[in-house]
Structure 1
Amino acid sequence: MVKTLLSLPIAAMLSAFALAGLCQASEGLPRASSAPVGGETTIPYGWVDFCNRHGEECTLGKLAPVDVHMTRQVWNTLEDVNAMANGAIEPISNFDHWGTTLDHWDYPVDGKGDCKIYALFKRKLLIERGFPRQALLMTIVRDLNGQGHAVLTVKTDRGDWVLDNLADEVRPWNATGYTFFKRQAQDDPNVWLSLGGATGAPPTEAASQ
């Protein structure tokens, strides 16, 4: 005989409703793959310099890796933060901004910045909104023009997503056309891991698949 919800124990009923809610929360949400991660590699000079000025960001010790549980609210927050930060910061080159060719990473203290400033600001905003910092990873890539570029990778249980100052939409890491070289380790922001030059499909090709 098929049991109805009315014939189930209260605990089982609650579990059934919780599972139904979880399925509903995930329904229609996008999914991405996870980028292949290799061993330790060199730490960008800009991050070391940033840590010298913002020690509180870099002295937290080891943290257990955590992926963000993707829900509709999480997705909306990622989109909102990405678009808001992109519109709030005036783009300017590292040299024109700081007068040096040395890579300078910082927050947008004067409302201006290049790709690293955008990515750090988005990381900060998401942490303030309760996202685990272990899932918010500074990432070094080469863009569609072959130029060095930085983005923020968000690790979720529905894959790796990129927040990028060159695009207002949040994109799967492998639908950017970028070549991925290195990013922070989840358990330690001062450890950087190789991404092996992994490259995904350009955005136009990924959208047509």
Structure 2
Amino acid sequence: MEVGGATRAPAGHVGFCSENPSECRSQNRNAVVVKLDRERWNELLAVNAEVNRQIRPVTDVELFGVEEYWTFPSSGAGDCEEYVLEKQRVLQKRGWPKSALLITVVKDTNNSGHAVLTVRTDQGDIILDNQIEAVLPWYSTPYRFVKRQSARNPAKWAAISDHRVSTVASLSN
């Protein structure tokens, strides 16, 4: 995944950071990738499936009465951002480094904004998603990648140059 320069954070993430400053604090850390072995791979599969089962899909308008609101899924319901935040939180509790667990904004198969979790590994970027049950390398998803969190500072975001022409999202423009 070709990551470029700085870009604006999604409004929902800015609000999330103001309500959860400890989740977005820069720790001046080195960005790391995770060595992906069989145990770690199985853990990704399990966490993705577990969180996808635990959260009932509900829009922010239905749940919070606003168009866009990012939070942890304390009520057991939420949209794509709640799935991503919970997967990130669960993996961190299991010892995965935060700098390898990046919230990523994509255009989905309907060309709508969608959030997924990018897991940075020594074998490439892996995507955990609530729309597609399979855990896939980023380039195998049908999405067009737009931007993601910085690995060094979770409140900062970087643009993604996704020039692939084979994505469903790019074909629907």
Note if 1:167 corresponds to 2:132.
Answer: yes
Higher relative contact order at CA 8 Å, sep ≥6: structure 1 or structure 2? 2
Superposed CA deviations along residues 47-69 of structure 1, whole A, max 9, x for unmatched, are 11111111111124321000000
For residues 191 and 135 of structure 1, what CA distance do their matches in structure 2 show? 14
For residues 102 and 166 of structure 2, what CA distance do their matches in structure 1 show? 21
Superposed CA deviations along residues 115-174 of structure 1, whole A, max 9, x for unmatched, are 000000000000000000000000000001111100000000000000000122111101
2:13 partner SS: helix
Superposed CA deviations along residues 158-197 of structure 1, whole A, max 9, x for unmatched, are 0000000012211110111101000011111111000024
Contact 2:104–2:116 (CA under 8 A) maintained in structure 1 = yes
What code does the residue aligned with 1:70 have? L
Q: Aligned residue for 2:158?
A: 193
Q: Aligned residue for 2:55?
A: 89
What code does the residue aligned with 1:81 have? V
2:109 partner SS: coil
In the TM superposition, residue 199 of structure 1 has moved relative to its aligned partner by: 4.0
Q: Which has the larger radius of gyration?
A: 1
Note if 1:67 corresponds to 2:33.
Answer: yes
Taking only aligned residues, the RMSD between alpha carbons, in angstroms, comes to 1.4
Contact 2:80–2:130 (CA under 8 A) maintained in structure 1 = yes
For residues 94 and 39 of structure 1, what CA distance do their matches in structure 2 show? 30
For residues 48 and 131 of structure 1, what CA distance do their matches in structure 2 show? 23
Greater shift, 128-137 or 189-198, is seen at: 189-198
> 1:167 and 1:38, CA in 2 relative to 1: closer, same or farther beyond 3 A?
same
For residues 123 and 198 of structure 1, what CA distance do their matches in structure 2 show? 27
Q: How does 1:131-142 map to 2 (within 5 A)?
A: 131-142=96-107
What code does the residue aligned with 1:185 have? S
Provide structure 1 residue ranges, at least 5 long, that are not aligned to the other structure. Answer: 1-34, 204-209
For residues 119 and 165 of structure 2, what CA distance do their matches in structure 1 show? 16
For residues 58 and 163 of structure 2, what CA distance do their matches in structure 1 show? 28
Number of residue equivalences:
168
In the TM superposition, residue 200 of structure 1 has moved relative to its aligned partner by: 6.9
What code does the residue aligned with 2:99 have? Q
TM-score, normalization by structure 1:
0.77
For residues 165 and 123 of structure 2, what CA distance do their matches in structure 1 show? 17
> 1:43 and 1:202, CA in 2 relative to 1: closer, same or farther beyond 3 A?
closer
- Same amino acid, percent of matched pairs: 41
Provide structure 2 residue ranges, at least 5 long, that are not aligned to the other structure. Answer: 169-173
Greater shift, 80-89 or 61-70, is seen at: 61-70
Q: Aligned to 1:115, which of 75, 80, 83?
A: 80
For residues 164 and 70 of structure 2, what CA distance do their matches in structure 1 show? 25
Q: Aligned to 2:108, which of 140, 143, 148?
A: 143
2:3 partner SS: coil
1:150 partner SS: strand
> 1:127 and 1:53, CA in 2 relative to 1: closer, same or farther beyond 3 A?
same
